[in-house]
Every structure is written in C-alpha cells, then in structure tokens.
Structure 1
Amino acid sequence: MNSRKIFYLIVSFFLFLLVQVLILKNMVIFGVVFCFLYVLYLLLLPLEFKVITMLLISFIIGISVDLFYDTMGIHTASLLVIGFIRNQWIKIITPTGGYDEDLQPTFLNMGFGWFLTYSIPLFLIHHFLFFSIEMLGTDLFIPVIQKTVFSATFVFIISIIVQLLFYRRRRGV
C-alpha cells in the first residue's frame, strides 16, 4: 500500500470519528433508531487487510467512540467482533475468480447486491451485540431486536448515501 493510500485511510478515519461523535451521537429517531456510521469505516477498508490489522483498527475506533459516548467498552467489544469476522465473511462471499488487488469494497465498486450481502449481516451482528451488551437482560429481547433491525437498516441506507456522495468508482484498465 502506498503512502497516499495510507494518508487517505488516516484522514477518513478522523472524518468518520468526528462525524460520529459530533453529529451522529445525538441522532436518535423515536428512541429506536441509532446511527453508528463508524462501522462503515471498518467495512470499507481494502479487502487485503489482515485480521490483526483489522482488530487493531477496530480497537482504536471502538475505544475512541467509547471515550466520547462514555459507554465503557461497548462500542469496542462489538466492533472487535466485526473486525474479527469481516475477513471470514469476505472469504465466504468471494466469487470464484476472486477480487482485484487493492480493491475497496464500496457499493460503487462492487454493486448493490454484493454490498447488501456484505454489509447487512455485519451491521446486524454489530448492532445486536451492542444493544445486547447495553441492555444486559433477557426480558428486553424484543427491544434489542427492534433497535438492531431498525438501526442496521438506517445505517445501511445512510452508508449508501455517504458512498454516493463521497466515494468514487474505481476505473478499470
């Protein structure tokens, strides 16, 4: 990976973090829909990232968000799980021919169907873990499922909008 790509990843990390903690922190719709867009940063990292690198980045993002939300590690725990299973999930949904080198898995590069298959399960897992840890009770199963489904759907829609506005499609040869 070249230095320009690394600089781009660092700048986008800080942008995602700033947007999350300054704008989206207080964005709650009907007490059920939460916008955790910082998960998208992890999903949009290039496909060739190793698990250890993913876990390190997941930890840094999670602990940074936890510092601003005062949630004592809930964001970190749920994001570490996503960082751990992301590469395995990519291997499961990889087509026979594989992917191009240095490809960023955006909606514009991969198509809507692939991005839906890739991101929705990871968003659902993240949100389910987050809300389960937050509520820590079995009597609150229905609210956890409600918040998980509605928040994951909302984050997916917002992630498509963000990608359409701020990401470019990779040009072919």
Structure 2
Amino acid sequence: MGYICPIVYLLFIVLYPVDNNRWSFLILSFLLGLTVDTFQDTGGAHAAASLTLAFVRPVLLKLIYGEGYLTKNLKIMRSPLDRFILLLALSVLIHHLVLYMLVYFNISQILQVLQMTLFVGLSSIFMGVVLFVLFGWRSKS
C-alpha cells in the first residue's frame, strides 16, 4: 500500500513454539530478517529487529502468560485472544522501534520514527490479528 505496509512476518516469531530449541529460534529469526533485508535493501535493519524481538520474546511471554509460560506448557495458538493481541502489540512495538531507529538512524528524525512505528505498527497488529483468527486461532474448550 505504499506508505503503510504491514509487516506480517512477525507472526513467525510470535507464534514459534515455546518448547523448541532457543538457539535454532534465534538463528531462524535472524535468517528471516536477513531474507527480508535482501529484498527490501535495508542493510540489516530487519535482521537486527527480528533478532532483538526473538531475544526479548521469553520476557514478553513470562510477563503476559506468567506461570503458564514457566511450565513450558504454553500453546499460543490456544491462548485467549486478548492475551495474543497484547503479546502481538508489545512484539510489534519492540520490533518496529528497533527497525525504524536503524532505518532512519538520526536523532533529529525521532518524530518520523515514532510516526512510522505507530502507523505501520497499527496496520501490522490489525493484519496479524485477522490472519491469526482466520487461519490459526482455536479457543480453549
């Protein structure tokens, strides 16, 4: 859509299984970001932002899901929709702030960074929730 382009590859990082190997998750997140960098010519900004999000994700899961995350019994695909939206919103905020700070890399353009984080972040959250509900969400029953 030109100016506002939702970033949906974050769903891979957010929905990656909790109980899998952490090092492989970090490497896959980096490679995913590097692949996007290759096609968008952003010089490693997506790779750095994806790796940052993958590194911070356990803290976000512990913050949002509490004891359910510590027992390694967490299934994000079966979690309540409000918790998923909170996880996605925090993940998008962290990823987009890192991404646009690296893309602009100029403190005088901090308003542009915040504006892009807000608008692209809202569209990414919207698209992420729509895709999650359409293709993957199963409520606890």
Structure 2, unpaired ranges of 5+:
none
Name the CA distance, whole Å, in 1 between partners of 2:66 and 2:105.
38
Higher relative contact order (CA 8 A, sep 6+): 2
Name the CA distance, whole Å, in 2 between partners of 1:111 and 1:94.
10
Offset, 1:46: 1.3
Offset, 1:102: 6.4
- TM-score between both structures, scaled by the size of structure 1: 0.73
Closer, same or farther in 2 for the Cα pair 1:110/1:171, shift >3 Å? closer
Which of the pair has more CA radius of gyration? 1
Aligned: 1:101 with 2:73: yes
Aligned partner of 1:134 among 91, 98, 103? 103
Q: In proportion to residue count, which structure has more helix?
A: 2
Aligned: 1:56 with 2:27: yes
Name the CA distance, whole Å, in 2 between partners of 1:141 and 1:89.
25
Structure 1, unpaired ranges of 5+:
1-26
What is the DSSP-based 3-state SS (H/G/I as helix, E as strand, rest coil) of the residue aligned with 2:138?
coil
- TM-score between both structures, scaled by the size of structure 2: 0.87
Q: Which residue of 2 aligns with 1:5?
A: none
What is the DSSP-based 3-state SS (H/G/I as helix, E as strand, rest coil) of the residue aligned with 1:139?
helix
Aligned residues: 140
Aligned residues of 1:51 and 1:84 also touching (Cα < 8 A): no
Closer, same or farther in 2 for the Cα pair 1:171/1:61, shift >3 Å? same
Q: Which residue of 2 aligns with 1:147?
A: 116
Name the CA distance, whole Å, in 1 between partners of 2:95 and 2:88.
10
- Identical amino acids, percent of aligned pairs: 25
Offset, 1:60: 1.3
